[in-house]
Amino acid sequence: MRSPLKILITSRKGGVGKSSIAVNLAAYFARMAGKKTALVDFDYQRTSTHWITDAPQIGIDCRSFTLPNSKGSGNALLEAKEALRKTSESNQVIICDLAWADVLPPEFLFEFDLVLVPSSGSKIDLLSSLDFVSRFSYIFNSRMRNPPKLAIVPSRISSLKHFKATYDEVFHEGLAVSEPVMHMSAIDELFGMDYLIASDKPEAKENFLHFCRSVEDLAETETDPRINVKELTFQHKVSGSVLDRFRAIRNSSQTPLLREAVIEDLPEAVAQMQAQIPSFLTMRDA
What's the mean pLDDT in 270-284? 42
Per-residue confidence (pLDDT) for residue 152, from 0 to 100: 95
Dist. CA 234–CA 248, nearest whole Å: 6
**Does 178 map to a domain?**
yes
**Does 267 map to a domain?**
no
**For 31-41, what is each residue's pLDDT tens digit?**
999 999 999 99
What range defines the domain where residue 113 resides? Answer: 5-260
Q: Do 106 and 137 form a contact (C-beta atoms < 8 A)?
A: no
**Does 279 map to a domain?**
no
**Does 286 map to a domain?**
no
- Total domains, the chain: 1
3-class SS at 224?
coil
* 70 band by pLDDT with thresholds 50, 70 and 90: low
Q: How many angstroms separate the Cα of 45 from the Cα of each of 3, 21, 154? A: 29, 15, 22
**Does 273 map to a domain?**
no
* 69 band by pLDDT with thresholds 50, 70 and 90: low
* 1 band by pLDDT with thresholds 50, 70 and 90: low
Question: In the predicted model, is pLDDT for residue 126 greater than 80?
Answer: yes
**For 48-65, what is each residue's pLDDT tens digit?**
999 999 999 999 999 998
CA atoms within 13 A on the CB side of 192: 5
Strand (E) or helix (H) holding 155: strand 149-157
**Does 119 map to a domain?**
yes
pTM for the structure as a whole: 0.77
Mean pLDDT, rounded, of the chain: 79
What's the mean pLDDT in 78-86? 89
Look at 29-43, 62-76, 83-97, 248-262 and tell me which has the smallest mean pLDDT.
248-262
Q: Do 257 and 173 form a contact (C-beta atoms < 8 A)?
A: yes
Question: In the predicted model, is pLDDT for residue 44 greater than 60?
Answer: yes
**Does 277 map to a domain?**
no
**For 215-234, what is each residue's pLDDT tens digit?**
999 998 754 433 333 333 33
Question: In the predicted model, is pLDDT for residue 211 greater than 90?
Answer: yes
**Does 281 map to a domain?**
no
- The enclosing domain of 103 has a CATH number of 3.40.50.300
